[in-house]
Amino acid sequence: MTGTLVLAGTPIGDISDAPPRLAAELAAADVVAAEDTRRLRRLTQALGVQTTGRVVSYFEGNEAARTPELADALVEGARVLLVTDAGMPSVSDPGYRLVAAAVERGIKVTAVPGPSAVLTALALSGLPVDRFCFEGFLPRKAGERLSRLREVADERRTLVYFEAPHRLDDTLAAMAEVLGAERRAAVCRELTKTYEEVKRGPLKELAAWAAEGVRGEITIVVEGAPAPVPGDLDPAELARRVAVRESAGERRKEAIAAVAAEAGLPKREVFDAVVAAKTAKSAKPAEPAEGAPGA
C-alpha cells in the first residue's frame, strides 16, 4: 500500500480562516513537510494541535534535494502533509516537484482547500472575474520584466500577480508603460490581516502611490486588454501580435487564427499582414559592416 500526499492550505492572514480539516491532518500525518518549521509551530499552537509525525523543512533551497526522500516515504505508505507559509502549496510556493514525483509513482494526491490570496484579491478588486489568469511573480530584472509584460499586453483576461513590497513601484511603473497608463488595476495589501487595504485606480496613479513606499504582502490585479474594434489594428500591429504568440510557442497557423478572432477579422487578412511584415523585413537593407566604405 502506498501512502497519500496531502496539500494543505493555510491561512493567508487571519488564523481563524484555517480550514477545519487542517488540525486533524496535522495531527494524523506521518510526515509534515513545512516551508518554515517555526511558522508551523506557531500555527499548531494557535490551532491547539500536536503533531505526532516527523516534521521536516521543505522550502525553495532544499526542495529539489528533499523531494526524493519524501517520495520514498510515500511509496513506503506514509501520509505526508505539505504546508507552506500561507495559501496553497505549489502555487508560487514549494510543492510542484513533490506533486509531480507522487503522480509519476502513482501515489494518491489530495488537498485540504484553504484561503487563497489569488481568489481573495480577484474578488475584492472590482475587476471582471469571469475569466482570469495567474502570472505569479514577475522577473526581478527590469528588461526581463518588461519582456514578460509585453507577452500579456493583449491578454483579454484579468491578470493576477504577486509582488514584493520593495519592488511594487517599479512593477506598477512597468505595467503602466507596457499595458497602458489608464489600465485599471487593484493593489491588495495584507489581505485578511489587521491593516488590510485595497487600492484601486489606473496603473499610473497606483505607480505614483506606490512610489511613496508600501509594506506588507502584495497581490496585484490588472484589468485585461480591451477587445479590439474590427479595423482598428493596422497590419504591422497584427503581425506583431502573431509574432508574440509564435515566440510563446504557438504554431503560426494557430497564432494567426487567434489574432484574427481577437481582432474580428478574416484569417486571410492577418495572414497577409504577416507576409507583408516578413517581406518588408527581408527587403530592409543590411547595415554596413564597421570599417566598410560608407560606414
What is the distance between the alpha carbons of residues 190 and 78, in angstroms, rounded to a whole number?
Answer: 36
Average pLDDT, the chain: 92
**Measured between alpha carbons, how far is residue 99 from residues 1, 133, 137, 140 in Å?**
18, 21, 21, 27
pLDDT average, residue stretch 283-293: 55
What backbone phi and psi angles, to 5 degrees, belong to 218?
Answer: -120, 135
Do 207 and 140 have their domain in common?
yes
pLDDT average, residue stretch 1-24: 94
Per-residue pLDDT tens for 174-185? Answer: 999 999 999 999
**For residue 169, pLDDT beyond 80:** yes
- Domain assignment present for residue 265? The answer is yes
Cell match 487563497: residue? Answer: 116
Given this model, what pLDDT does residue 286 score? 56
- Domain assignment present for residue 151? The answer is yes
Identify the band that residue 152 occupies on the pLDDT scale cut at 50, 70 and 90.
very high
What is the distance between the alpha carbons of residues 199 and 196, in angstroms, rounded to a whole number?
Answer: 10
Do 212 and 171 have their domain in common?
yes
Per-residue pLDDT tens for 259-269? Answer: 888 888 899 99
- Which of 80, 115, 150 marks a domain boundary? 115
**For residue 230, pLDDT beyond 80:** no
Helix intervals (H) in 110-248: 117-125, 142-151, 168-179, 203-210, 235-247
CB 248 within 8 A of CB 155: no
More confident residue, 265 or 232: 265
- Helix H or strand E segment including 254: helix 252-263
Task: Label the pairing between strands 31-34 and 54-57.
Answer: parallel
- Domain assignment present for residue 290? The answer is no
CB 137 within 8 A of CB 165: no
Given this model, what pLDDT does residue 136 score? 95
What backbone phi and psi angles, to 5 degrees, belong to 34?
Answer: -120, 140
Identify the band that residue 283 occupies on the pLDDT scale cut at 50, 70 and 90.
confident
Do 96 and 131 have their domain in common?
no
Domain harbouring 193, CATH code:
3.30.950.10
Domain harbouring 64, CATH code:
3.40.1010.10
Identify the three-state secondary structure at position 180: coil
Identify the three-state secondary structure at position 212: coil
C-alpha dihedral sign at 243, 247, 248, 250: positive
**For residue 292, pLDDT beyond 50:** no
**CA atoms within 13 Å, Cβ hemisphere of 89:** 29
CB 53 within 8 A of CB 32: yes
- Domain assignment present for residue 287? The answer is no
Per-residue pLDDT tens for 62-92? Answer: 999 999 999 999 999 999 999 999 999 998 8
254 CB-near residues (< 8 Å, 6+ apart): 245
**For residue 103, pLDDT beyond 60:** yes
**For residue 285, pLDDT beyond 90:** no
CB 244 within 8 A of CB 151: yes
Do 38 and 89 have their domain in common?
yes
Do 155 and 104 have their domain in common?
no
Do 263 and 184 have their domain in common?
no
Do 13 and 100 have their domain in common?
yes
- Domain assignment present for residue 293? The answer is no
What is the distance between the alpha carbons of residues 10 and 40, in angstroms, rounded to a whole number?
Answer: 10
Enclosing domain of residue 242 = 235-282
Identify the band that residue 293 occupies on the pLDDT scale cut at 50, 70 and 90.
very low
Do 65 and 49 have their domain in common?
yes
Cβ neighbours, 10 Å, residue 256 = 24
Do 242 and 200 have their domain in common?
no
- Domain assignment present for residue 289? The answer is no
Hey, what amino acid is at 133? C
pLDDT average, residue stretch 18-37: 96
Per-residue pLDDT tens for 118-136? Answer: 999 999 999 999 999 999 9
Identify the band that residue 170 occupies on the pLDDT scale cut at 50, 70 and 90.
very high
What is the distance between the alpha carbons of residues 285 and 295, in angstroms, rounded to a whole number?
Answer: 13
What is the distance between the alpha carbons of residues 228 and 247, in angstroms, rounded to a whole number?
Answer: 22
- Domain assignment present for residue 193? The answer is yes
Do 36 and 111 have their domain in common?
yes
**For residue 288, pLDDT beyond 70:** no
CB 221 within 8 A of CB 159: yes
Cα 133 to its chain centre, rounded Å, is 8
Per-residue pLDDT tens for 183-203? Answer: 999 999 999 999 999 999 999
Do 14 and 105 have their domain in common?
yes
- Domain assignment present for residue 292? The answer is no
- Which of 66, 83, 115 marks a domain boundary? 115
Q: Domains in the chain: how many in total?
A: 3
Given this model, what pLDDT does residue 231 score? 67
Do 265 and 196 have their domain in common?
no
